[in-house]
Amino acid sequence: MGMYYLFAKNAFRENYIYRANTLIYLFTGTLSLLIQFNIWQAVYSTQDAVESVNLSEMLTYVVLMAFISRLTESSIGFKLGDKIRTGEIAGDFVRPINLKWYLFADQIGNSLYGIFLALIPAGAMLALYRTFLPPVDLFHGCMFGLSLALGILLGYLLNYFLGLFVFWIKNYGYISWFLGAFTTLFSGGAVPLWFYPPALRAVANILPFRFISFEAVSIYLGKTPVSDIYIVIAGQLIWIAVFFVACRLVWNRAQKVVTVQGG
Amino acid sequence: MYYLGLYWEFIKIRFKTMVEYRTETLVMGIGEILGYLAKFIVIAIMVSKFQTMGGWNAYEIILLYAFNLLSYAVSNMFLYRTCNNLAGQIRTGELDSVITKPTNPFLYLCSSGFMYGYWAHISLSLFLICFCFIKLGIVFTASKIVLLIFVILGGALIQGALNLITTVPAFWLVKSHAIRKIPWAAYDFIKYPITIYHKAVQFLLIFVVPYAFISFFPLQYFLGKNDFSFFHPAFQFLTPVVGIVLFFLAYRFWLCGLKHYNSSGS
Amino acid sequence: MSFIEVEHLSKEFKITKREKGALNAIKSMIHREYTIKKAVDDISFSVEQGELVGYVGPNGAGKSTTIKMLSGILTPTSGKVTVGGIVPYENRKENNMRMGVVFGQRSQLYWDLPMGETFELYKRMYKIDEEKFRRNVEFYTELLDMKPFLNTPVRQLSLGQKMRGNIAIALLHDPPIVYLDEPTIGLDVLAKSRIRTFIKEVNREKNITLILTTHDMDDIEAICNRLILIDNGKKLYDGGLEEFRNTYAGGNLLVADFDADEVVMPDPRLKLIKEEGPRRWISFRKDEIAPMEALNLITARYQLSDFSMQEADIVETIKNIYEKKLHV
């Protein structure tokens, strides 16, 4: 267990070393938030609330989603792709480290650094706009935390699962574009799912993407009725189980492919 | 002028290479189309929920994005490889192979690195432009088409210039790739008409990183709008000019970088 | 005027001082401190058409810097270079038209193109006329035995084949001067030998001037007729390869451990070229004095506790020169 902690710490530190990069990411992160704030302000200039969501809630939504996207941001697909392409993966089969959790720890390290990067733009926005809502109440706050943790795990498993297909497809680039399209549409990143037309909302509901970050934020803002909160958590757990099993199956298949082809 | 033939030769060669990898190019392109389509859909959702953004309806806003995407693609066909690989080429000394040839290094890099992969972006954006123009009842006249071409080329020059300007620091700095992200950060502003933003932001988008000239101002003309906030109506025709000036500056900067390379190696 | 004139050429680089620690990092953002490194220090030489020059030095000696100035990649800090009447770093395009470069470690071929098409591309690039092009392509593909793989895409070629391709395209436009940087690196013995023979042949046929930088002394021995040695930016030796061999590396070496502290040569035909403690290296030429006679002359004067006779070799000699044990 301690080993994984070290991996995470290492990933964090490697990010820290490139300080100029940090400054630039801080800048672009702030600008990105600024853009979204401006857009929503323009929208709300003519109305007070849309679908019973007001400006403050919307701005809080934006900051939270930006934050969480840092935690769920994943280059696992590409990393796996590289490992497979260079043959490094053969080593991973033999080592006593579980590849899945190693990559997860690596991602967490990167993510935590990402939080640090996200804190400053968020702080800047708060200073400028003075609007960030706390969770509706303690209960919602806690459920938010739980849903968030589950969402991060789910996001990771989804990425890992898709990453495994590199064993067959060789180039993760294709997968990343398709995944990107679905994420853009169904994760609630740019536009909250509350504002979606019913047909698209229905599609989004049967897909796992909303459970990664959107649902957690929805709970935080109190937009999910209390009775539904447990359903959401259950949904997350179910999807996690689904992907966990799927990963196992695909991984086993992949091992066969590798041993047959010789890497 | 003789060398134009040579550069064209490179572009043809790249085509042959692309044909060899046509499956990859095709599949990647489809993935990219889906990716951008998703972004367009999200914008459409946004606009249809809120009826208008700054007085622009859904089709008009999609046109904004389509103009951006098209000029981006045209610019990157030539510049993606050139800008992306420069830092690496400096580091490995590969750049020496380029500057010892009897050609203009910049044109050599742009033509030998030409990328056909942007077919996806170009098809999608052209389709959407035609689609929206038709839906909005805008008539295609010869002069409109010519102007459109100039606007897209001008927009490509603007994007290319900013790309190039942020790539040139590689001649001085070791790890400069993050600088290239800076102009990109402001890019998302132009998804929507700049009039919805604070005056300071508008100023940024017109005078600092002139993104507003890529789509917002030219579309004023095509859509028959008068949305200039406090800027002069002539701005709607300035895109090619801004593009040329900016690219000229970028190219001079590139020459500075080369000169530095000549005096201090790698 | 020689074909290549290098006059008092110098090149200085500013190296920023990198200090450790956060405080110094901030300081360095305000005020940069430099050290000046003289990579090339007042070098002069001239090269005639058709010479095969070996430009040799240890790593960091300044040889690639010199070549970069000759090929127009770098601008000198002071001094002047002319190649064929042109100043390379002032008239780059013109100079590039009349020069060929082979980078041993980096291929200049296009990954996906077969050799034949690459030739066509270079024909265009260097404005080679049809007649000359046909002739040269025939000449080089024949000489380098490239016909078997002319239609294979470059990415499928072996290292040796790629190197032959690189050399061919460098020579295609009949440049009066060709710079070769480690041209045989990574090649097997057979391939190396083939390339060396080829280069000599081309020089014979077309009187091309060649400047070769390499760490492989066998390359130099096989190809060059002139040797320029540089170290720490300064020229140490400039003259014929044959002459070098005979003076410093040639003939024989008597290596002996002397009991005496002071050793003076009893005969002008014997040259003391290196001393290390009791051990001395004495060079002489077989055609001037027989080995036994040399030994007798020495032992008549001095007591030797150990000795051996060797054929001096160039590599060892050059190594000694670099290590400052040998005086040139």
Per the CB < 8 A criterion, the answer to whether A206 and A242 are in contact is no
Which residues in chain A are contacts of B191 at CB distance < 8 A?
39
Per the CB < 8 A criterion, the answer to whether A129 and A34 are in contact is no
- CA C307 from chain centre, in angstroms, equals 34
| Residue pLDDT, tens place only, C25-75 | 566 556 667 788 888 999 999 999 999 999 988 887 788 899 999 999 999
Which residues in chain B are contacts of C127 at CB distance < 8 A?
2
Is C230 in the same domain as C153? Answer: yes
Backbone angles phi, psi at B99, to 5 degrees: -80, -5
Angstroms from B250 CA to nearest CA on chain C: 22
Task: Judge whether residue C250 has pLDDT over 60.
Answer: no
Which residues in chain A are contacts of B27 at CB distance < 8 A?
174
The neighbouring-strand residues paired with A249 are none
Q: Tell me the C-alpha distance between C64 and C237, whole Å.
A: 17
Is C269 in the same domain as C214? Answer: no
Query: Which residue stretches of chain B are H helix?
Result: 2-20, 22-49, 58-92, 94-99, 105-112, 119-135, 142-167, 181-185, 199-203, 216-223, 239-264
Is C262 in the same domain as C187? Answer: no
Which residues in chain B are contacts of C97 at CB distance < 8 A?
102
Region A173-202 average pLDDT: 90
What's the pLDDT at C17?
67
What's the pLDDT at C113?
81
Which residues in chain C are contacts of B20 at CB distance < 8 A?
112
Angstroms from A20 CA to nearest CA on chain B: 8
What's the pLDDT at B231?
75
Per the CB < 8 A criterion, the answer to whether A67 and A115 are in contact is yes
A129-138, A232-241, C310-319, range with greatest mean pLDDT: A232-241
Per domain, the residue ranges of chain A are 2-261
Closest CA to A18 of B92, B184, B179: B179
Per the CB < 8 A criterion, the answer to whether B172 and B257 are in contact is yes
Closest CA to A43 of A31, A53, A32, A28: A53
Residue B252 CB: number of other CB atoms within 10 A?
11
Confidence class for position C249, pLDDT limits 50, 70, 90: low
What's the pLDDT at C29?
59
Q: Which domain CATH number covers C203?
A: 3.40.50.300
Does residue C318 sit within a domain?
no
Is C105 in the same domain as C55? Answer: yes
Angstroms from C24 CA to nearest CA on chain B: 19
Is C262 in the same domain as C211? Answer: no
Residue C321 CB: number of other CB atoms within 10 A?
22
CA torsion through residues A48, A52, A56, A60, sign: negative
**Contact B53/A at CB under 8 A:** yes
Q: Tell me the C-alpha distance between B122 and B118, whole Å.
A: 6
Per the CB < 8 A criterion, the answer to whether A135 and A220 are in contact is yes
Given the structure tokens 């058409």, which residue do they identify? C49
Partner A, chain B 143-182, Cβ-Cβ below 8 Å: 175, 178-179, 181-182
A40-49, A228-237, C298-307, range with greatest mean pLDDT: A228-237
Q: Tell me the C-alpha distance between B1 and B179, whole Å.
A: 34
What's the pLDDT at A151?
92
Task: Judge whether residue A260 has pLDDT over 60.
Answer: no
Region B190-211 average pLDDT: 87
Task: Judge whether residue A16 has pLDDT over 90.
Answer: no
Residue A208 Cα distances to A68, A150, A182, B79, angstroms? 16, 12, 10, 38
Best C18, C112, C151, C178 member to test B by mutation, with max B CBs in 10 Å, is C112
Given the structure tokens 């706390």, which residue do they identify? A134
| Residue pLDDT, tens place only, B28-64 | 999 999 999 999 999 889 888 887 677 788 899 999 9
Q: Looking at the partner chain, which of C73, C97, C108 has a beta carbon nearest the beta carbon of B99? A: C73
Helix (H) or strand (E) holding C239: strand C234-240
Q: Tell me the C-alpha distance between C322 and B178, whole Å.
A: 43
Both tokens of C79, joined, read 């001094």
Does residue C25 sit within a domain?
yes
A62-66, B231-235, C308-312, range with greatest mean pLDDT: A62-66
Task: Judge whether residue C133 has pLDDT over 80.
Answer: yes
What's the pLDDT at C179?
94
Is C148 in the same domain as C273? Answer: no
Backbone angles phi, psi at B238, to 5 degrees: -85, -10
Task: Judge whether residue C325 has pLDDT over 70.
Answer: no
Backbone angles phi, psi at A157, to 5 degrees: -60, -40
DSSP C247-301: IIISSEEEEEEESSS----SSTT-EEEEEETTEEEEEE-TTTS-HHHHHHHHHHH
Query: What integer best gives the mean pLDDT of chain C?
Result: 85
The percentage of chain C sitting over the pLDDT mark of 70, rounded to a whole number, equals 89
| CB contact (8 A) between residue A191 and residue B48 | no
Angstroms from B263 CA to nearest CA on chain C: 5
Does residue C147 sit within a domain?
yes
Domain count, chain C: 2
Angstroms from B230 CA to nearest CA on chain A: 18
Residue type, B63: L
List all chains that touch chain C, counting a touch as 3 or more CB pairs closer than 8 Å. B
For A28-117, where are the E strands, in sequence order? Answer: 49-50, 53-54
Does residue C319 sit within a domain?
no
Is C11 in the same domain as C112? Answer: yes
What's the pLDDT at C21?
57
Is C9 in the same domain as C75? Answer: yes
- Show the domain range for C292: 251-311
Task: Judge whether residue C204 has pLDDT over 50.
Answer: yes
| Residue pLDDT, tens place only, C179-196 | 998 888 888 888 888 889
| CB contact (8 A) between residue B53 and residue A191 | no
Given the structure tokens 């970050």, which residue do they identify? A213
Q: Tell me the C-alpha distance between B26 and B37, whole Å.
A: 16
Which residues in chain C are contacts of B264 at CB distance < 8 A?
13-14
Residue C26 Cα distances to A27, C23, C31, C32, angstroms? 20, 5, 9, 10
| Residue pLDDT, tens place only, B131-182 | 999 999 888 889 889 999 999 999 999 999 999 999 999 998 877 777 888 8
